[in-house]
Structure 1
Amino acid sequence: MKNIKYFLIKLLIVLTLPGCEEFLDSKPSKDLVVPVNLMDLSALLDNSSVMNVSPSISLISSDDVFTTESGWLGFRQDWERDAYLWRKEVYEGVTFVPDWSLPYMQVFYANIVLEQLEKINTKPSEQELYNRVMGSALFYRANAFFELSQLYTPFYSWNDKTEGMGIPLKLDADINNWEKRASLQETYDQIASDIKAAAELLPDKPVFPNRPSKQAAYALLARMFLASEEYVQAELYADLSLQINSELIDYSYLASASTMPVPQYVYPIPFDNPEVIYFQQLANDSFHSSELVFVDSTLYNSYHERDLRKQLFFYENFSLGGANFQGSYTGTFMKFSGLAINELYLISAESKARLNKIPEAMSMLNSLLVTRYETSDYMEYMTNSQEEALQIILIERRKELLFRGTNRWSDLRRLNRDPRFAVTLERSIGDKNATLIPGDSRYVLPIPEVELDYNDLEQNP
């Protein structure tokens, strides 16, 4: 274990410093111990501070949040302020961009594991562990590629095979071999291929929620297909994942177990949440912990007074400017960005509605929402209209999955293509006004300039 920890420290140094190719050009040092057995490789992937963290810019740029001028000025980093106002040069002068570098660090770890697995002679008694480690590496790589695709590539629709530039698909651990940008089609093909291969290898459920599983792989496929408008596949994999486990928390139990309203800084969602399929959280940036970052007022006011989510997810802080969010599935102030059963219910419901399976769609939605109210207070949604069903489901999706980063940002990119659901975002900070219209090029972030200095990549428009 000492060797693996030392290896991780060296990796972090290599990946976060410019000119890291010089490190690899030198002869290997005897004190750099590469993991060579299955337990070491498993330990490398169990490094949650790297592997279970996702980009946070998708939350600050979404319409889930707003802040005051004091809150905006209090953000520690310039890129946070720029992202909040959707500025084009969001990374100007930034030498380390975690939203880009962190997913590629995960890809690097995964590729090291996959390459080392090819060199291991596995005993029959180790086959289960071998499969889990390989499946996990493929899952982590696919998840990182997907997160990157939602930030740094144009929207992709699986059905019309949208053309455009994807991301560099790094499939080996040699950082001297850097890839050009793949096409959008190649990017999504690689993501789907990795996840499907992972699903064949992983156990149905994990021992620990920070580890991938077959259920998590199916859930990630459902999320990816929904984000790319492939609703047949989204429904298929959401339902396959729910067949493994479909347990939901009864929020009335959480409400009765706490003082109402929930006191400030008491997090009502348990850490051992049975809805969590795969644990992941957004990177910890200063806006996460600011008292002056509030939930969007229109969104907050959309919750019915008898909706237990309004009581559990927020505490009112109107003297400072609004209501703060405290309903994260991490059980702390950190924001959950992983995969959970409630998301699968909503993916399944929307996909069924898109496919004109209205009774099944509404049944799936009602099965979720009845657990968010006292049973006697809940009135089931009923409709035979596809458009009304979609309107209802998308409103409830917004209310259920807020503050989860990629979910809302991906939804904005996807739904803005449909005039029925498109929204124009507006923000004001002092004398600074910003507007983000549907289809705006700023829904695609620029590749960090520091990355372009070292790799011959084409910049986004």
Structure 2
Amino acid sequence: MKKYIYILFVMNVLWGCDSYLEEAPSKSTNLPLETIEQLDALLGNYSYFYQDGSRNAVLCTDDWEVSKSLYDGYNGSAYRSMEIAQVSTWDVENTAYDGREYLWSGEYTKIFYANMVLYYLDAVTGSEEQKAELKAEAYLIKAYSYWLLVNNFCLPYDESTKNELGISLKNSVSFEESIARSTLEETYIEIENCLEEALKLKSTIVKGGTFRPWRGNSSAAKAFAARYYLSVNNYTKALQYANAALGEYSELFDYNSEMAFYESTVTVNNEEVEVNYPDTYNFTTSDILSYKEFYYARVSYHGYAWYVPSQTLMGLYDKDTDLRYKYNFVENYSYTRDRTGISYPGYVAMGMYNIPSGPTTSEMILIKAEAMARTGNWQDAMNVLEQLRIKRIDSNKYVELTANSQEEAVKLIMKERRIERPFVFTWYDYRRYNTNEVDYDDVNLSREFYPYNSSTVLNGEPLVTYELKKGDRKWARPIPNTEVESSLGEIKQNTY
């Protein structure tokens, strides 16, 4: 069988390479995959890999504000859409059919590209060392995507749920391969198998003098392993891999010296209103991909361009000392989305759409501290935590945190995780808190909001209470119904 690709979107991947790629294949209407450089170019096309886009991580926790007052005072679609109302109240009847759940198809597209590299490796020219690196990188992509999928569309994993539905495990480029969902236990076994292969990466994060976190590398694999093992409450391995990643690369962004404001105004009712962004608001794609804390350059993408912080979230920050509040919470941000509505802040990290979601050095410090604290070494864990805080707290007002017990230390570290990266960590953290060995960190969520039907928010009616409790089957978000239907029933929808 000749190794030719005629599928248009695959051609676009190969053609869309830019200066980040070391070598791109020549254009052809029938491009044969014959060389290792072509497969390298496929994985090097960062535009197909660097965005995640979990609407559940953005909307489904108490990082996101859901309130009558904000809904009533705001006129724009960036807050008043049916998608936001339904997803943020954990609806399962309508959200499977809204056509706006892109994570499933997006991550399976990445898995397809990874499988294509694995399929063609034996057929192309190139050294065994080059092939081994691309193989390991492809498995890192698969492990990462499987992890995102299982933590969005499946129940939290523990002994009681291991026989529940997992995700579809794809190991080839054949359209004849079964897409039936595995069990949750089989899914996690497959993630670990992929991770084991990914940990064979030998490429360093700095290659030829260039910082390259958009590509698979040894530090990225170790950092993702730390995240993975924390997510399944294996603190020993989480600590092992966090230490390993930090041992290879440990650069931190210092809010005291490397952050500034980008001053701007908007016109609201014929008056100029200040909206002062952090200078990271102007990050280009190149700036995002070269952000020095990244081990693996991935960002969470929110298409409504307004991360609406809850009053609860904002209340967690010491507003006088924490530079993360000073720079990342932009006053009057709502006016950029609706020039006639009310003033409300927005959370801004990298532009209006993106928040870093890939493994970072700051995350590794937090994983290291939490793993130490949960395994009893909580006094030293607090010292580790300060390695991050000293880069985030105003140096003129800096005071170390103190804890008097293991539980207090763990809770302080949990808080730091949340305020370090809201709209990214929180959803995944809540899932693992509800399946770990203690109950003092259990999470039950509730919101008061208007009732709604499939097409309209009934804002003339009394508020109702929406809940997402520990053990609720709604922790597994609905798979897009288009995927269920196109599979002819092979993909089973979650039951509630």
TM category (shorter chain) comes to 0.7 to 0.9
1:55 equivalent among 25, 33, 53: 53
Q: CA deviation at 1:301?
A: 2.1
Unaligned 5+ segments in structure 1 are: 14-29
The answer to which of 381-390 and 432-441 deviates more is 432-441
Amino acid at match of 1:381: L
**In 2, Cα distance between the equivalents of 1:334 and 1:218?**
24
1:414 equivalent among 407, 432, 438: 432
2:19 is aligned to: none
Q: Is the 8 A contact 2:299 2:357 kept in 1?
A: yes
2:446 equivalent among 425, 435, 445: 425
Q: Is the 8 A contact 1:136 1:202 kept in 2?
A: no
1:33 is aligned to: 31
In structure 2, the CA distance between the partners of 1:170 and 1:164, relative to structure 1 (3 Å rule), is same
2:24 is aligned to: none
Alignment pair present for 1:394 and 2:394: no
Partner SS state of residue 248, structure 1: coil
Amino acid at match of 1:336: P
Alignment pair present for 1:435 and 2:433: no
Amino acid at match of 2:41: A
Question: How do 1:231-242 residues align onto structure 2 when only pairs under 5 Å count?
Answer: 231-242=235-246
Amino acid at match of 2:372: K
The answer to which of 269-278 and 175-184 deviates more is 269-278
Structure 1 or 2: larger helix share? 1
Residues 16-39 of structure 1 show CA distances to partners (whole Å, capped at 9, x for unaligned) of: xxxxxxxxxxxxxx9443533212
Q: CA deviation at 1:345?
A: 0.7
Amino acid at match of 2:145: A
Q: CA deviation at 1:261?
A: 11
Question: How do 1:320-339 residues align onto structure 2 when only pairs under 5 Å count?
Answer: 320-326=342-348, 328=349, 330=350, 333-339=353-359
**In 2, Cα distance between the equivalents of 1:416 and 1:345?**
22
**In 2, Cα distance between the equivalents of 1:395 and 1:435?**
22
Alignment pair present for 1:458 and 2:462: no
1:26 is aligned to: none
Question: How do 1:126-275 residues align onto structure 2 when only pairs under 5 Å count?
Answer: 127-157=128-158, 162-205=162-205, 207-255=211-259, 257-258=260-261, 264=275, 266-269=277-280, 271=287, 272-275=290-293
Q: CA deviation at 1:389?
A: 0.5
**In 1, Cα distance between the equivalents of 2:85 and 2:5?**
35
Amino acid at match of 2:58: L
Partner SS state of residue 182, structure 2: strand
1:64 is aligned to: 63
Alignment pair present for 1:363 and 2:383: yes
**In 2, Cα distance between the equivalents of 1:38 and 1:202?**
17
2:323 is aligned to: 308
Q: CA deviation at 1:427?
A: 4.1
How many residues are treated as equivalent by the alignment? Answer: 429
Q: Is the 8 A contact 2:255 2:393 kept in 1?
A: yes
In structure 2, the CA distance between the partners of 1:267 and 1:39, relative to structure 1 (3 Å rule), is farther
Amino acid at match of 2:445: T
**In 1, Cα distance between the equivalents of 2:61 and 2:157?**
19
Q: Is the 8 A contact 1:10 1:32 kept in 2?
A: no
Unaligned 5+ segments in structure 2 are: 14-27, 266-273, 335-340, 451-458
Residues 325-382 of structure 1 show CA distances to partners (whole Å, capped at 9, x for unaligned) of: 11x2x45642222111111111111111110011221111111111112334221122
Q: Is the 8 A contact 1:55 1:147 kept in 2?
A: no
Q: Percent identity?
A: 27
Amino acid at match of 1:378: Y
Partner SS state of residue 391, structure 2: helix
